Amino acid sequence: MTLSTSTRKPEQILSLRGIGKKFGAVRALTNVDMDVYAGEVVAIVGDNGAGKSTLVKILAGVHPPDGGTIHFFGEEQTLATPTDARDLGIATVFQDLALSDSLDVVSNLWLGRELTRSGVLDEVEMEQRSWSLLRELNARVPSVRTPVASLSGGQRQTVAIARSLIGQPSVVILDEPTAALGIAQTAEVLNLIERLRERGLGVILISHNLADVLAVADRIVVLRLGRNNGDFRAADATSEKIIAAITGATDHGMSRRAAEKASPDATPTSKEPEL
């Protein structure tokens, strides 16, 4: 239903070039590039304060960038508001999920986009479409009439991801989707991410968990101190290489000269990411 069942050729969905963002004196992002293709899971990793959330918020239309360009299917776009981003086809699942606990799964999925028939809510249609969406995602939710307050962390994450698909986006951004989950629930969410990829969506995954990243990502983009510091194909990546890029032990972004100038930062000072 809400998902395209056609298999699209890998096509560039998003292309970011030279993205910069300052908050007062803090340079959160400097000259960041990133591409996302259809049917690709791109993980963004980096230490605390590396700029991951800022980049996501720019793509979600929450913060305007100070500089750089965003192309979406080859056309330059300005994402001035969250509605702009959503209408364009960029869906974001923020870490707090923003679910309404007292409402059931159907109501959460369709919140703000309710289907109506002759001016009244079409509960039957919404319920049927909810079931078929969750089935397509192989999601394990006991009943779509359960209040989300009674669901497990993994099920809540699933509902939040399913909700993001209602608007038929081309890109889904997931901010730390497994951070609060146990082993089995994490596996379910990683499976769900694979379903999204199979559907031809571009998936941007923010995660501190390198095991998850290596399990599911096709490409891994490393940010360090607000700059690109590595873009690895998952097939070539190891956790050692990624950690070295995260901590700055290896330099994959700055030119040599810039790196020398920035030598006070050249030693790894960051806390080790979780594994």
Residues that bind ligand ATP (CB under 6 A): 23, 26, 28, 46, 48-54
Contacted by 46, from Mg ion, ligand ATP, none: CB < 5 to 8 Å by type: ligand ATP
Query: What distance in Å separates the CA atoms of residue 227 and residue 27, rounded to the nearest whole number?
Result: 10
Task: Quote the DSSP letter at residue 187.
Answer: H
Residue 53 binding Mg ion, by CB under 5 A: yes
| β strands within 94-210, DSSP E | 116-117, 120-121, 171-175, 202-206
* 82 vs 167 by CB, closer to Mg ion: 82
* 22 vs 195 by CB, closer to ligand ATP: 22
Task: Quote the DSSP letter at residue 273.
Answer: P
Q: Could you tell me which residues are beta bridge partners of residue 232? A: 220
Select the span of 53-61, 105-113, 163-171, 261-269 touching Mg ion (CB under 5 A).
53-61
* 53 vs 158 by CB, closer to Mg ion: 53
Residue 92 binding Mg ion, by CB under 5 A: no
Closest distance to Mg ion from the beta carbon of 197 (Å): 23
* 52 vs 197 by CB, closer to Mg ion: 52
Contacted by 89, from Mg ion, ligand ATP, none: CB < 5 to 8 Å by type: none
Residue 54 binding Mg ion, by CB under 5 A: no
Closest distance to ligand ATP from the beta carbon of 52 (Å): 3
Within a 10 A sphere around the Cβ of 116, how many other Cβ atoms? 10
Question: Phi and psi (nearest 5°) for 222?
Answer: -100, 130
Handedness of CA 154, 167, 124, 7 (dihedral sign): negative
Among candidate residues 5, 4, 8, 13, the one with its CA nearest the CA of residue 202:
13
* 104 vs 175 by CB, closer to Mg ion: 175
Closest distance to Mg ion from the beta carbon of 105 (Å): 27
Closest distance to ligand ATP from the beta carbon of 8 (Å): 30
Take residue 134 and report the two structure tokens written for it.
Answer: 């969750």
Contacted by 50, from ligand ATP, Mg ion, none: CB < 5 to 8 Å by type: ligand ATP
CB-CB contact of 134 with 165 (8 Å): no
171-200: which residues touch Mg ion (CB under 5 A)?
none
Take residue 235 and report the two structure tokens written for it.
Answer: 């097939």
Look-up: residue for tokens 């990133």?
34
Contacted by 54, from Mg ion, ligand ATP, none: CB < 5 to 8 Å by type: ligand ATP
Q: Could you tell me which residues are beta bridge partners of residue 26? A: 23
Which residues make up the interface to Mg ion (CB under 5 A)? 52-53
